[in-house]
Each structure stands twice: as structure tokens, then as C-alpha cells.
Amino acid sequence: MLPSFWSGDLLTLKHVLLCSQSLVYLIAFSSLYWQIPGLYGEKGLLPVATKLDSNDYVWQSSFPVLLSLHRYLNLVPSRAFQLLCLIGIVLSFVTACSRRSRNAISYFLLYLLYLNAQRVGGIFLWYQWDTLLLESGFLMAFLAAFSDSALDSIAVFLINWLMCRLMFASGVVKLQSGCPAWWGLTEMEVWYKTRQNHPFSVGHPLRVSMYPHSYCVVFPSYAGMVQKAVYFINILYRDIPSTCLSVAFIIVEEVRVLSTGNLPVIDLFSVLLMVLIMLTGNYNFFNFSIIVISLPMLENGMISYWMSDSSNSSRKLFHGAFAVALAVPLFSVSIVPFTVIDKGIYDKIPEALKNVYYQIDPYQIANSYGLFRTMTGLNGRPEVIVEGAVDHEGPWKEFQFYSKPGNVSEAPVFVLPHQPRLDWQMWFAALGSYRYNPFFLSLVHHLMEATPEVLRLMSKTQPFKETPRFIRAKLYHYRYTPFSEKVDWWTRDLQYEYMPVFPRNDETLVNYLKKTGMLLTKNYRSTGILDGYLSKLHAIVYAMDQARFVWGVLFASIVVIVSNLLLNSFHYFPIARS
């Protein structure tokens, strides 16, 4: 009989949370690791060497772990970044598969590694799911800080509070924006037709995500708002009593019964909502992260403190005091970014609390959320199409990206939970101008130079027999073809010229890239054995498709986890003593 965390066992829930968080870390680190040469290599779009070649002392740096690997191991900057991600991959794999490794040190190190990556990653790591991973990861380190006891319910409460803030803010900002798509209940039609990333393909006649809006436009709009309100009820009704009891080391059966009276149907709806989003769009590990932090909502009740901890009273008191001393500031500070959605409430927050928040804000442990405030793509999904030519007069041919729309005849691809970060950033570039997207200018330069590391980020099939000497870009609006048509997947309309023609070795462009550090003037050479091994290891990984590499790493970890469960089910996830 396999153990189940639906039985109301907080100790079981704790290890399910920690294991799940490790899997999300594993996805994030492995996805980033594959893309480092093209994004951050010495010949990449945003070379990490620009940030690492500073005169800062290691522990005064914003990314001390990465800088230490670079300096003390004498590694090429991008190799140091690869090593950081490799450490993250190994540690997240071990913590996912081994209960004994799930401690505060392991999870704090995972948090620290990803924080370093996020700080040095620039625009390619400035997504809300990256900050969500950091905040939830820090809370998981808090959860793993103590041996199994009812004190864990304090950390679980903070995780529930994070879920509440995320879901509530994501709903409120849509109403505050005044966006006609949200207020007019037409957003689901836009969502399914244009989406911010691609759905998977199940065959041309069965485009499963194209027309579900025909029967579910109104329901998700109202159901979503009801769901957000229930989170507040759930937090106040269940978790605050549970947490107070844990802090005071008092538990009364009558109160415990009240504390377990949550609404599992609504909580299951949250998980179902995330699954449906994953089936209709590629949002990398974001939905997985939300599912992880929603798991405590499905736990029905809390384990008795006296049942799980046989240590002496003084130790209990010390652990309890330490947990409260950490939890209260975390909860208090998180109120500051949460109240940004209402200026009146935000202005009433004490300045001292705001100052504390501003001091810890760089560590990403208390963040504001609010996804898709306004619905873009009302007239079609905007896409930048990059064209190249050997001669200024043409013929012009289109560069094909790894996953974003380009060729109207190509079916959308399935890359979940991998995030092709260049493709994602190209979508954001389409919402603005190339002048405000320096990475795009770097991309243009590397396409004309046929830089192998950058070309690996794109589709393997390109239409050029020789390297283009001229690059230009146009903006199109893409839409799915009607269901009855059998020719192309997309229709598109030209909107305007996104970027004028740039020739190879354009002096203005080259000088700009050098000035901003996106084009290095210094040559970096491998000088150590470790550097060479890291290079060879990544070359092996590079031979694989980027999404398949992430799938392979994730599948291997799941196989080990399931094997452990089958071989020793009653020891993998601990069960409380009755």
C-alpha cells in the first residue's frame, strides 16, 4: 500500500512539498544549462563575462557563488555558469530522490544558486516564474529547517499565504487594468486563439486548444474570481488557527476539527486549472510551481505536535521561538508588495516595514505578482519575423526559431516544461521596439556572423546556403487558421517594418554592442582541466535537442523516485506515528 498525503498527515505533506520543489528546481536548472553558450557564452547574446570581470570582492558581489567559481577555480565565465547550473541539477536531483538530503542547507543552497543565476541572467531571467521559484524555494528551506514536527505548519502557512497572494493579485490586476477583454469576458477567445506560447500538436484535424473558448468563455472568468476569494477564506479559516496552535504548542481536538474544514473542491480546481493551462499552452515550469505551492491547500488537518516530537521542553521552546522569529518578519514583509495593488492600503503601511522590504527586495523572498494584467494580441498574436539576404536587393528569407511561430505551415511544438528563453523574449520584443531590446540587436549581429552558439538556440533547419550579409525584421499578427482549413496552421498579416536593414559589420551596431558589453573584445581561453571537462560535458548535452534534454533529466528523476516508492514505500515519505 502506497502512502498518501491526502490522509491529513502534515509530515507526509512536508516531504511531498520538498520533493516537488526539487523537481521544479531540476527543470529550471537543466533548461538553463543547455542554453548557456547561446545566451551567456563569450560569443552569446548577453555574455556573462561582462558582469564577472569586475573588481568587486567576492562577498560584496551580487552573485558571490558564481564569481567564486570563476575566480577560485580559474574557469572561463560561461563555464563557471555551467558549473553553477550543474551543481543545481545534481543537488535538486539528490533532494528529489533522497529524503535524507532534504534539509535546510540543501534547499538554501538551491535558492542561493538560482538567485545567483537570476541576478546575472539579465532580461532572460526576469520572469515572474523565476521570482516565484526563488520565493517558494526560500520558504521550502524554512520548511526543511527543523526535524518533523508541528512547527512545520508555520512554514506551510507561509506557503499557503504565497499561493493566496499570487492567485488573488493575478485576478485583481486584471480588473484594475480596465482591459476590455477581461471586463467583456472575451479574454478566453483571445487566449485560445493567440496565446503567449504554443500548444502541443495532436494532429492537424484535432487542434484541441483552438476552439475550447466556444464553450468555456464565461465559466473560467467567474470561476477564477470565486476561486481567488475562497483562498482568503481558506487561509483565515484553516491555517491561522493551525499555525497559532503550533506556535503555542497547544492543540485541542475540537479546534483541530474546525481547522480541517477546508474546501478541497476549490483547491482541486486550482490544480485542474493549472493542468488545463499546460494542455493548451507551453508555460515552462510556471504551472508546476503553482501546483507545488497549492498542495498544502489539499492537506486536511495538521499533525499533533505531541505526537511527532519527543524532544525535551526547552528544545521545543527554542525551536518554536526561532520559527516564529523567522515567520513573523517574512509574513509582515510580504504584505508590502501584496498591497501594491491598492495605493490606499499601501500608503497606510508603516514606513519602517517598507524600508525593511526595500532592503531585502534584492533577495526575492517577498514579491509582488500579477500576471497578464492586460490581454495582448487582441488583433492577433504579434510576432517579429527576422529576414536575411546575401544581397541588399534580396531575395529575403526568414530565419526560423526553435519554438515560436514563423513558417505558417509548421505546427506548434511541445516543449513543456522547458523554456526556450530567446523565443520567449522575442515575444516581448514584439510588444515594443527593437531600440528598447538590446538583446535583439545582439541577435542580429550574431546571425550575420553565423555564431554557432546563437544559431543552436534556433531551428536546426535554416534556408540559407551562405551566411546573410543583411538583416531586417518585420512585425506580423498571427492567428490560427479556421478549423475547416487543412493547409496551414497559421494565417498572418503584415503590420509594419520592425527594424530597417542592417548590413554586416555595421560600425554603429558593432560599437554599440562593444560599449554595452554584449560584444567582447577580450579573448577567453580554457586554462584548466576542469574547464576542459565542463566543455566536453556540455558538448555531449549539446548533441541533444534542448527540450528532450530537460525531459530526459526529469524522467530519470521520476524513475528513481517511483522506484524508491515501490521498493520502500513506508520510508520514502514518512508517516506519522499513531
- Cα 226-230-175 angle, rounded to 5 deg: 45
Give 246-310 as a DSSP string. HHHT---HHHHHHHT---HHHHHHHHHHHHHHHHH---TTHHHHHHHHHGGGG--S---HHHH--
Residue 518 placed within a domain: no
Cα 145 to its chain centre, rounded Å, is: 24
Any idea which of 63-72, 476-485, 516-525 has the lowest mean pLDDT? 476-485
Band (pLDDT 50/70/90 cuts) for residue 98 is very high
Residue 524 maps to a domain: no
- Round the average pLDDT of the chain to a whole number and report it: 81
Residue 252 confidence (pLDDT): 32
Write a three-state SS string for 89-101.
HHHHHHHHHCHHH
- For residues 329 and 353, the answer to whether their CB atoms sit within 8 Å is no
Q: Are residues 372 and 391 in the same domain?
A: no
What's the pTM value of the predicted model, to 2 decimals? 0.86
Residues 141 and 240 in one domain: yes
Would you say 447 and 44 are in contact if contact means Cβ atoms under 8 Å apart? no
How many Å apart are CA 403 and CA 425, to the nearest integer? Answer: 12
- 522 in a structural domain: no
Which residue did the predictor score with more confidence, 399 or 228? 399
Mean pLDDT of 156-176: 86
| Tens-digit pLDDT profile for residues 490-529 | 999 999 999 999 999 899 999 999 999 999 988 888 778 8
Domain boundary pick from 331, 357, 378: 378
Q: Are residues 163 and 302 in the same domain?
A: yes
- Assess whether 178 and 312 both reside in one domain: yes
In the numeric block, the cell 533532494 is attached to: 95
Residue pair 11/144 in contact by the 8 Å Cβ criterion: no
Task: Say how many CA atoms lie within 13 Å of 188 toward its Cβ.
Answer: 18
Same structural domain, 146 and 271 = yes
308 — pLDDT class (breaks 50, 70, 90): very low
110 touches 23 (CB < 8 A): no
Surface-to-core class of residue 527, CB atoms within 10 Å of its CB (0-12 exposed, 13-18 middle, 19+ buried): exposed
Domain boundary, last residue among 326, 348, 378? 378
> Would you say 51 and 63 are in contact if contact means Cβ atoms under 8 Å apart?
yes
Nearest C-alpha neighbor of 156 from the set 274, 254, 262: 262
The residue to which cell 527554542 is assigned = 318
Burial of 486 (0-12, 13-18, 19+ CB in 10 A): exposed
> Between 173 and 141, where is the model more confident?
141
478 bridge partner residues: 381, 492
Q: Can you give the pLDDT at residue 313?
A: 63
Q: Show the domain range for 420.
A: 381-504
Stretch 5-11: mean pLDDT, rounded? 43
Q: Is 284 left (phi over 0), alpha (psi -120 to 50) or beta?
A: left
Whether residues 109 and 162 fall in one domain = no
Residue 296 confidence (pLDDT): 83
How many other C-beta atoms are found inside a 10 Å radius of the C-beta of residue 511? 11
Top pLDDT among 133 and 319 is at: 133
Say whether both 385 and 374 belong to one domain: no
172 and 314 share one domain: yes
Q: Write down how long the chain is.
A: 578
- Both 329 and 203 in one domain: the answer is yes
Residue 509 falls within a domain, yes or no? no
- Number of domains within the chain: 3
Q: Using CA atoms, how far apart are residues 401 and 11, in angstroms rounded to an integer?
A: 46
Residue ending a domain, choose from 357, 378, 399? 378
Q: Do 150 and 294 lie in a common domain?
A: yes
pLDDT classification of 559: cutoffs 50, 70, 90: very high
Say what the pLDDT of residue 211 is.
Answer: 45
Residue 534 or 300, more confident: 534
